[in-house]
Amino acid sequence: MALDVLGRFAILAILWGASFLMVLRVVDGFGWIGAVSIRSLIASALLLIIAKAMRRKLDFSIGYFPFLVLGVTMVAMQLIGLSFAVPRIGTAMTAILVGAIPLFTSVIGRLLGIEQMSRHGIVGLVLGFIGIVLLVGFPSGKVTARFVMGVVVCTVGCIAAAFASNYSKMRMSEVGSWEQVIGAFFFGGVVTAPLLIFVPFHRVPLLGDWFNIALLAALCSSLCYVIYFKLVARLGATKAISVEFLVTVVAVLIGALYLHESISLIQLLGGALVILGCTLILSLFSKHADSR
């Protein structure tokens, strides 16, 4: 893997890994819908302003529908999953579930006929499924309705993100990464904004809350997704999304060391199986793996 690709992986791992802690703080100020809608609109507007200031030519001639699809799946559903789950199941548990996104991405890619699955891939799929069962079924604390809802919503968001990665590669390979981020986050913010009627802010946001959500939007949305879509165009959806392995490690370390969150040994085993399953599916250890 080229040095520039590894550098981009490192940036995404650090920023997206730290984003789980930032999401926890933003949700406290804006609620789990406000955290998504306002973050998305800020991210889209900020990147558009930067593009205009740089006199960067943007091309949205593909039409609004592909951006709407990305906005609903990659932005609205995925970020709602994260914002809803983090306060309910913790940053570490949420991050481990997010680590399964490459597994979902690979499966969806095969179902859509984009890629083929080897025997190793089938073994990886089975291991990944067992890992998810261990993650969900054997938490360190008591299983409550709140916990189960957090897991379900987060998992749906992860599947949506996996679909979005494949959709971007399949339908938007000729669309620039800046355009994809601006369009997706605009529609993600627009479609979630009406939900504020049903899920209003917890309280009046303070200046610090606005700073946190602006920082989250600028670094973890605008910057990270421009980098990510460039990786998708270069490596393909499944290999690009494998950065979630590193994201999970960073987020779990933050959750354990900074927030003092506890994870059971069985859950750690489940997380390891998910990562092992994904590496088999992605053929990361194969001599014939794509190393573009």
pLDDT in tens, 23-82: 999 999 999 999 999 999 999 999 999 999 999 999 999 999 999 999 999 999 999 999
Find the mean pLDDT for residues 176-189.
Answer: 96
User: Once rounded to an integer, what is the mean pLDDT over residues 219-241?
Assistant: 85
Q: How many CB atoms lie within 10 A of CB 64?
A: 12
pLDDT at 289: 44
Q: What is the pLDDT of residue 285?
A: 47
Which residue from 2, 4, 1 is spatially nearest to 227, judged by alpha carbons?
4
pLDDT of residue 219: 94
Contacting residues for 53 by C-beta, under 8 A, at least 6 apart? none
pLDDT at 288: 45
How many Cβ atoms are within 10 Å of 156's Cβ, its own excluded?
Answer: 15
A 10 A CB-CB count for 26 gives: 28
Neighbours of 203 (CB within 10 A): 11
pTM for the structure as a whole: 0.83
The string of pLDDT tens digits covering residues 266-284 is 767 877 877 777 667 656 5
Q: What letter would DSSP give residue 116? A: -
Average pLDDT taken over every residue of the chain: 85
pLDDT of residue 138: 59
- Whether 220 shows a pLDDT value over 80: the answer reads yes
**Domain edges within the chain:** 18-115+157-261
DSSP assignment of 31-61, as one string? HHHHHHHHHHHHHHHHHHHHHHHTT-----T
Q: Out of 57-66, 151-160, 198-207, 239-248, which region has the weakest mean confidence (pLDDT)?
A: 239-248
- Choose from 14-18, 236-240, 268-272, 276-280 the range with maximum mean pLDDT: 14-18
Question: CA torsion 36→11→60→168, rounded to 10°?
Answer: -80
User: What is the average per-residue pLDDT within 119-125?
Assistant: 72
Q: What is the DSSP string of 236-271?
A: -HHHHHTHHHHHHHHHHHHHHHTS-----HHHHHHH
- pLDDT-based confidence at 136, cuts 50/70/90? low
What pLDDT was estimated at residue 121?
Answer: 66
d(CA 286, CA 276): 13
